[in-house]
Amino acid sequence: MPTSSSSRFTFTRRQSASNKTPRMINRNLVFNLIRTRQPLSRADLARVSGLQRSTVSLIVEDLIKDRWILEGSTGRLPRGRRPTFLELNHQRAVIALDIHPSQTTVAVTDLGGKIVAQNVVQLPVDENKAIQAIVAAINKMIAAHSDKSFDGIGISLPGRADPRLEKLIFAPNLNWPAASIKSRIQKATGLRVEMDNVANACALSEVWFGDSDGLHDLVVVNVSEGIGTGIFANGQLLRGSNGMAGEFGHVQMDTGGPLCGCGSRGCWETVGSNRAGLRYYEEISGGAAPSSFAALVKMAQADDASAVKAVDKMSSFLGRGLRMIASALAPSEIVIVGDITTAWYMFGPVVEGELRQNALSKEPRLRPSFEGNTARLRSAVALVMNGSLV
C-alpha cells in the first residue's frame, strides 16, 4: 500500500504501519482504535494495534496534549500497576453541514461522529442570502453549545468541488451558485472548513465510521435529488482531473428522456433519483406528487399502490445504473446512501435483481449505508477528522 498522506489504513482491524510509514499514520491508527473501542488502556492499544508500547505511549501523550483524548477511569488487575483507560474528549466538536438545493441541515457532532444537535434551515434562492442564512445557523449552533471547542466545519455538497481551487465547479442541482461558499463560511466563522462532494465524503465516512475496512475498493452511490458516486480505490478517494471522477449520474441512459440539470437528456439521475420517483408517482396516480421523497417512501410502506409502483420503477433504473458501475469499476462493494435505504427491505431486492444481470464481472456486495439518514452528516464530520489527522 502507498505510504503517502492520502493513503488510509483500516481502523477497525488490527493493522499497523511499517517503520517506513510516516508516524502520522500510526497516530491515525491509535486515535481510531480509541474512538471505536473506548475505553481502552495503553496496553490494550499496543496489543490490538501491533505497535510497540513505547510508540503507543508517545502517540497517546501527543493526543492528550492536543486534547483529542482524555485519561479516564482506572482498571483493576490482580497485581501490578492499575491501567488508566483512554477515551475521546467529548468537549471537542465539529459542525457538519448537509447542503441540499432548498435546505441545509446544520449539526453539532462529537469526534466520534455522534450527532449532538441538528437544525434544518430553509434556503432563499438568492446566493448571498442563502450563505448568510447558513452562517447565521452555524453561529447560532456554536453559541448554543458554548461549552464545546469546535475543530472545524465539514460541508457535504450536491456537486463537485475542485480540491485544488477549493471551489464548486459542477453543481447542476443547486439553485444558487455556491462557488465561494467555503471561503465565505471560513471567513465568517474563523473555523477551518473542509468541503467535498457528498458521495466522496460518504465514501470516506464508510471507511472512517462505517463497516468498510479501508482495504477493499468500494463505490458509494448517493441517491437524492440527483445521483452521485464516490469511489474509494487503492486506499484513497479517486478524484480524477479537476475532481470530476465518478459522475455516473450524468451518463445518458435514455436519449429521449427528461431534461437533466447538466443540459443533457435521460441521464441516470433523471430516471433513478428521488426526483424521478416523485415524477413517476404523478404519472402513475394522475395526481400531485407528495411533498418529499421521504413522504413517498412512507406512503409506499403504507401500501399505497401508486407509491409502490413509483419507487419500484425508480429502483429498477437505479439497479440498471449500478450494473454500469459494476462493469466499469468492478468494486468489492457498493454502498447506497439516501432516503430509499429506510425502506430497503422493500426496494433493495428490485435494485439487486437488476444488478445481478451484470455478466462482465463478479457481482459486488451491495448494501445500504448502516448510518441511515445520518450518513450525509457523518460524512461531513469525516472530512474534518480526516483533514485534522493526516
Write the DSSP string, 173-204.
T-SS--TTHHHHHHHHH-S-EEEEEHHHHHHH
Question: Across-strand partners of 85?
Answer: 41
Do residues 287 and 144 share a domain? no
Q: Is 1 part of a structural domain of the chain?
A: no
* Amino acid 76: pLDDT: 58
Do residues 157 and 27 share a domain? no
Phi then psi dihedrals of residue 287, to 5 deg: -115, -175
Q: Given 38, 56, 88, which residue is the final one in a domain?
A: 88
Q: Is 14 part of a structural domain of the chain?
A: no
CATH number reported for the structural domain that contains residue 58 in this entry: 1.10.10.10
Q: What's the rounded Cα separation, in Å, for the pair 97 and 118?
A: 10
Q: Is 9 part of a structural domain of the chain?
A: no
Q: What's the rounded Cα separation, in Å, for the pair 115 and 98?
A: 13
Question: Across-strand partners of 129?
Answer: none
Q: Is 312 part of a structural domain of the chain?
A: yes
Q: Is the peptide bond before 39 cis (omega within 30 degrees of 0)?
A: yes
Helix, strand, or coil (residue 220): strand
CATH number reported for the structural domain that contains residue 286 in this entry: 3.30.420.40
The count of C-alpha atoms lying within 13 angstroms of the C-alpha of 158, restricted to the half-sphere facing its C-beta, is 26
* Amino acid 210: pLDDT: 67
What 67-76 contacts at long range (C-beta under 8 Å, 24+ apart), as own/partner pairs, is 67/92, 67/149, 68/31, 68/92, 68/111, 69/31, 69/34, 72/39, 73/39, 75/41
Stated pTM of the model: 0.78
Do residues 184 and 311 share a domain? no
Number of structural domains (the chain) is 3
Q: Is 223 part of a structural domain of the chain?
A: yes
Cα angle 251, 157, 337; round to 5: 65
Q: Is 10 part of a structural domain of the chain?
A: no
Do residues 218 and 359 share a domain? yes
Side chain identity, residue 74: T
Q: What's the rounded Cα separation, in Å, for the pair 102 and 173?
A: 10
Do residues 55 and 103 share a domain? no
Do residues 251 and 323 share a domain? yes
Do residues 357 and 228 share a domain? yes
Pair 48, 35: CB distance under 8 Å: no
Q: Is 13 part of a structural domain of the chain?
A: no
Q: Which helix (H) or strand (E) holds 159?
A: none
Do residues 186 and 258 share a domain? no
Give the position of cell 445557523. Answer: 137
Do residues 279 and 308 share a domain? yes
Question: Across-strand partners of 99?
Answer: 104
Do residues 182 and 223 share a domain? no
Do residues 100 and 81 share a domain? no
Per-residue pLDDT of the chain (390 residues; tens, 9 = 90+): 333 333 334 444 444 444 434 566 688 788 888 888 888 888 899 998 888 899 999 999 988 988 888 987 665 555 556 678 999 898 889 999 988 878 889 999 988 888 899 999 998 877 778 889 999 999 999 999 999 999 899 988 876 666 555 555 555 556 555 567 888 899 999 999 998 888 888 888 887 776 666 667 899 999 988 898 999 888 788 887 766 788 899 999 989 999 998 889 999 999 999 999 999 999 999 999 999 999 999 999 999 999 999 999 999 999 999 999 999 999 999 999 999 999 999 999 999 999 988 666 678 999 998 776 688 888 888 888 877 655
Reference 173, options 270, 289, 281; nearest CA is 270
**Structural domain span for residue 128:** 92-203+376-389
Do residues 216 and 176 share a domain? no
Q: Is 6 part of a structural domain of the chain?
A: no
Q: Given 88, 105, 120, which residue is the final one in a domain?
A: 88
